[in-house]
Amino acid sequence: NAVAPGGIDTAMTSAPEHDQLKASIPLGRSGQPEDVANCALFLASDDARHITGETIDVNGGLYMD
Protein backbone atom coordinates (compact mmCIF):
# COMPACT_ATOMS: atom_id res chain seq x y z
CA ASN A 1 0.00 0.00 0.00
CA ALA A 2 1.06 3.60 -0.46
CA VAL A 3 0.10 7.09 0.66
CA ALA A 4 0.17 9.81 -2.03
CA PRO A 5 0.02 13.21 -0.33
CA GLY A 6 -1.10 16.31 -2.16
CA GLY A 7 -0.19 19.81 -1.07
CA ILE A 8 0.71 19.80 2.60
CA ASP A 9 1.11 22.97 4.66
CA THR A 10 4.54 22.93 6.30
CA ALA A 11 7.10 25.45 7.51
CA MET A 12 8.59 25.30 4.01
CA THR A 13 5.36 26.61 2.43
CA SER A 14 5.38 30.36 1.88
CA ALA A 15 2.26 32.46 2.56
CA PRO A 16 1.47 33.03 -1.16
CA GLU A 17 1.92 29.31 -1.86
CA HIS A 18 -0.33 28.45 1.08
CA ASP A 19 -3.10 30.77 -0.14
CA GLN A 20 -2.87 29.47 -3.71
CA LEU A 21 -2.89 25.87 -2.52
CA LYS A 22 -5.86 26.41 -0.20
CA ALA A 23 -7.88 28.06 -2.99
CA SER A 24 -7.38 25.06 -5.29
CA ILE A 25 -8.51 22.35 -2.85
CA PRO A 26 -12.21 21.39 -2.87
CA LEU A 27 -12.27 20.86 0.92
CA GLY A 28 -11.19 24.49 1.35
CA ARG A 29 -8.08 23.89 3.43
CA SER A 30 -4.56 22.72 2.80
CA GLY A 31 -3.44 19.39 4.15
CA GLN A 32 -1.60 19.10 7.42
CA PRO A 33 1.22 16.66 8.17
CA GLU A 34 -1.17 14.93 10.59
CA ASP A 35 -3.53 14.13 7.71
CA VAL A 36 -0.82 12.10 5.99
CA ALA A 37 0.35 10.54 9.26
CA ASN A 38 -3.18 9.44 10.15
CA CYS A 39 -3.56 7.71 6.80
CA ALA A 40 -0.26 5.89 7.26
CA LEU A 41 -1.27 4.86 10.79
CA PHE A 42 -4.54 3.50 9.46
CA LEU A 43 -2.76 1.45 6.79
CA ALA A 44 -0.42 0.05 9.45
CA SER A 45 -3.30 -0.90 11.74
CA ASP A 46 -5.39 -4.07 11.93
CA ASP A 47 -8.31 -2.03 10.57
CA ALA A 48 -6.59 -2.13 7.17
CA ARG A 49 -5.69 -5.82 7.30
CA HIS A 50 -7.71 -6.62 4.18
CA ILE A 51 -6.49 -3.67 2.09
CA THR A 52 -3.75 -4.63 -0.35
CA GLY A 53 -2.07 -2.96 -3.29
CA GLU A 54 -3.78 0.39 -2.88
CA THR A 55 -2.55 3.96 -3.19
CA ILE A 56 -4.53 6.37 -1.03
CA ASP A 57 -4.55 9.99 -2.18
CA VAL A 58 -4.47 12.42 0.75
CA ASN A 59 -5.16 15.67 -1.07
CA GLY A 60 -8.51 17.10 0.01
CA GLY A 61 -10.10 16.26 -3.34
CA LEU A 62 -7.53 18.12 -5.44
CA TYR A 63 -6.99 15.09 -7.69
CA MET A 64 -10.26 13.21 -8.06
CA ASP A 65 -10.64 10.49 -10.65
Q: Answer with the residue of higher pLDDT: 64 or 42.
A: 42
Domain for residue 34, yes or no?
A: yes
pLDDT in tens, 2-60: 999 988 888 887 778 778 888 888 888 888 999 999 999 999 999 999 999 999 999 98
Neighbours of 1 (CB within 10 A): 14
- Does residue 65 register a pLDDT over 80? no
Domain count, the chain: 1
Domain-embedded: residue 30 = yes
Answer whether residue 63 is part of any domain.
no
65 domain-assigned: no
Domain ranges, residue 48:
2-58
Instruction: Answer yes or no: is 41 within a domain.
Output: yes
Name the residue with higher pLDDT: 7 or 64. Answer: 7
Task: Answer whether residue 42 is part of any domain.
Answer: yes
Identify the H or E element spanning 50.
Answer: none
